[in-house]
Amino acid sequence: MARYNKIFLGPVEKTKPQVKELLAAAALKPGRLAVISSGKFALAGATTVGKVWLIQDNYLAMKGVDTDWAQDSMAIGIEMEDDHLYAARIANGVNITAVGTALTPGANGTLAIASTSDLVVAYSDEVYNNNSGSEQLLRIRPAGSMSYLSAAS
């Protein structure tokens, strides 16, 4: 069971974030990062350098965050805004030790801890050691503008 029951976490007094609907190039789990490739949402990977989208839970069909969007179905991707909070997936074994940890796209659309010259797409908004045996949702705040972490930062 997921740690959060929604991908968009707020703030609730603001309007919901902008979204885009596209076909899923593969099965997409809510909370994973995606890119647009050949007009479809495809999972982001460790070598991603462009804009990423966060796959939304299928609230239109009243599905939870653990129900995948099927391949070739219409999926919803969130255009993340830096003044909102979201829940995004981290892989098993990722240990977030501090709030504000820089995060980058990892394997299979999950987030990984960024190192020098990685694309930083978000920062952790909580401390969490994922030793659960599976992917988990982590509360994040998107990076203000997609940037590269440098040795000077």
Three-class DSSP labels, 124-150: ECCCEECCCCCCEEEEEEEEEEEEECC
Classify residue 153: in a domain, yes or no. no
**Radius of gyration of the CA atoms of the chain, in A:** 14
Q: Which of 39-43, 115-119, 146-150 has the highest mean pLDDT?
A: 39-43
Q: What is the CATH number of the domain that holds 114?
A: 2.40.300
pLDDT at 1: 53
127 inside domain: yes
Domain-embedded: residue 4? no
Mean pLDDT for the chain overall: 89
- Alpha-carbon distance of 19 to 38, in angstroms, equals 18
Domain annotation covers residue 105: yes
pLDDT, residue 149, reads 46
Strands 40-43 and 19-24, by their bridges, are: parallel
pTM above 0.85, yes or no: yes
Lowest mean pLDDT among 70-74, 77-81, 113-117: 113-117
Q: What is the mean pLDDT of the segment spanning 93-121?
A: 93
Give 1-40 pLDDT, tens digit per residue.
567 888 888 877 667 778 999 999 999 999 999 999 999 9
* Domains of the chain: total: 1
Flag whether 11 is in a domain: no
Output the pLDDT for position 42. 97
Inside any domain, residue 65: yes
Full residue range of the structural domain in which residue 85 is found: 16-148
Assigned domain for 134 exists: yes
The single-letter code of the amino acid at 92 is: N
- 22 within domain boundaries: yes
Written as six digits, the tokens of 21 are 């609907």
pLDDT for 147 beyond 90: no
